Amino acid sequence: MSHAPSLLEATVTALRSLDDELLDEFLALLPPDGRAEHAQPARALPVCATLLGAELNGSAVTRPVVDAFLRGIHRFAWNQTYTADDFGAAFLDRYGWVELVGERGCFHSARLLMSFLALGPETTYPAHRHAAEEIYVPLAGDALWMKSREPRGDFVPRQPGDIIHHPSMTWHAIETLDQPLIALALWRGGDLTEKSERRPEP
């Protein structure tokens, strides 16, 4: 599990360099003892293959995090919150996340969730919301992002290094283009293991 401390260090260094007040508030919740590591059995998901076979971009700030993440890709406990009943079986082949800090993470915290979301190319992550306040930072992959007080809204392009804030219970969705997406997600407040609420069927 030696990849986890180096990934955490690379991630925190990159996030601090973005010099954002709200982001720094989230980072202040990091567990003080970075050695408190929980062993997690490695588990792969189909989305891993889409990451490894792709030309991943990134910004000068996020690229070291992407590199550290890809170095550990086979040793992570890849996970999924949704089932085929939520967004379909095809979505599950193109979606997954790795929790680094949190209730289930290598580094335990009940106050902060830090996870890495991966989506394959040409994939829609439909609108959903949750009680926790969230910051996303795309690390690799240009994609379209929606956030709205309503379950539907306009999608706008977001690039690696952007800071995307979702207040509690804000609807949000992602559409990837021809590249996969790796995005860092931070949660605070609420139940850090909550399954997001799906947009109701029209």
Binding site residues, Fe ion, CB under 5 A: 134
CA distance 26 to 36: 19
> From the CB of 166, what's the least distance to Fe ion, in Å?
6
| HEC secondary structure over 107-149 | EECCCEEEEEEEECCCCEEEEEECCCEEEEEEEECCEEEEEEC
Q: Which residues contact 185 (CB under 8 A, 6 or more apart)?
A: 97, 113, 114, 115, 116, 117, 134, 135, 136
CA distance 164 to 169: 14
**Nearest residue to Fe ion, using CB?**
134
> From the CB of 19, what's the least distance to Fe ion, in Å?
23
Of the two residues 99 and 134, which places its CB atom closer to Fe ion in the complex?
134
Amino acid at 102: G
> From the CB of 148, what's the least distance to Fe ion, in Å?
13
Helix (H) or strand (E) holding 153: none
Of the two residues 34 and 190, which places its CB atom closer to Fe ion in the complex?
190
What angle, rounded to 10 degrees, do the helices at 63-71 and 3-17 form? Answer: 170
> From the CB of 58, what's the least distance to Fe ion, in Å?
21
Of the two residues 11 and 115, which places its CB atom closer to Fe ion in the complex?
115
> From the CB of 43, what's the least distance to Fe ion, in Å?
22
**Furthest C-alpha separation in the chain:** 47
Helix (H) or strand (E) holding 192: none
> From the CB of 195, what's the least distance to Fe ion, in Å?
11
